[in-house]
Amino acid sequence: MEKTSPVEILVTKEPPHGAVLRVMAVYKKTEHLADVVRRCPHHQNGDAADHRSRLIRVEGSQRPQYLEDYNTKRHSVTVPYEPPQPGSEITTILLSFMCNSSCMGGVNRRPILTILTLETSDGQLLGRRCFEVRVCACPGRDRKTEEANSAKPQTGAKQVKKRKSAPATDPDMCKRKSSSSTDEEEVLMLPVKGRERYNMLKKINDALELAEKEAKNKTRASKVLLPSSGKRVLQKAERSDSD
């Protein structure tokens, strides 16, 4: 934080006279994209500068302009584009980030992007680049921690699975099997989840058993026993051969 960071700029051709470089910070994630990146209240209160709410400042230039968009309220800072020094192909600007990424009430650990644009004096876009930034108190320590975490095998994580308990069986569903039962008379147990579903299935089962019982009674009533001698059973209005 508050450390000067050089940013090197390489252009394919010389921009027109009066071109400017604009630097802006935005949040990376979509859910935070509409929020304006500001410094936390703690660091703002300890700064007397007019642009104390800005996260990014430009150092080493006498003509920075700190702007705020009328519609989006986003903060940006512009500096005139300066051609590279003799013997060099790049232009360098110095940026300072005035708040840590972990500051509560400010960035609050949300990833941010720094957008760098090259524009003409009337606002026409000539070039654009962006890079992710994280401002921390101990960059070396955080870098080692990230490298160690990325080196850990992802498949080594232990997965804890909940043991499924055996579903409770209702006493009404447990029936004894008779010794002389056939396949269709075999009694089976079906675990059912939920009392409401069980009652519904029980009603269906009771209705099927009642229908089966009535069908058996009708079959027994309609059966006619034939005589053992093999003679035909006389019906009404029939006479025997002896008559």
Which pLDDT tens digit goes with each residue over 191-224?
Answer: 877 888 888 888 888 888 888 888 877 777 666 5
pLDDT attached to residue 51: 86
The two tokens of residue 159 are: 């997965």
Band of pLDDT at residue 39, cut at 50, 70 and 90: very high
* Whether the Cβ atoms of residue 188 and residue 218 lie closer than 8 Å to each other: no
The pLDDT tens digits of the residues spanning 44-81 come to: 998 888 888 999 999 998 899 999 999 999 999 999 99
Q: Tell me if residue 171 falls in helix, strand or coil.
A: helix
Query: Is 103 annotated as ligand-binding?
Result: yes
pLDDT attached to residue 231: 54
pLDDT attached to residue 161: 54
More confident residue, 238 or 148: 148
| Bridge partners for 79 per DSSP | 21
Instruction: Name the percent of the chain lying above pLDDT 90.
Output: 44
Query: Is 138 annotated as ligand-binding?
Result: no
Q: For the whole model, what pTM was predicted?
A: 0.58
Give the single-character DSSP code of 215: H
pLDDT attached to residue 227: 54
The pLDDT tens digits of the residues spanning 141-200 come to: 877 887 888 887 765 545 555 555 555 555 555 555 445 455 666 777 778 778 888 888
Q: Tell me if residue 169 falls in helix, strand or coil.
A: coil
Tell me what the pLDDT averaged over the chain comes to. 81
- How many C-alpha atoms does 111 have within 13 Å on its Cβ side? 8
The alpha carbons of the chain give a radius of gyration, in whole angstroms, of: 44
pLDDT attached to residue 216: 79
The two tokens of residue 172 are: 């009404």
Mean pLDDT highest for which of 42-46, 117-121, 236-240?
A: 117-121
The pLDDT tens digits of the residues spanning 87-105 come to: 999 999 999 999 999 999 8
pLDDT attached to residue 23: 97
The two tokens of residue 219 are: 């079959």
Query: Is 40 annotated as ligand-binding?
Result: yes
More confident residue, 1 or 173: 1
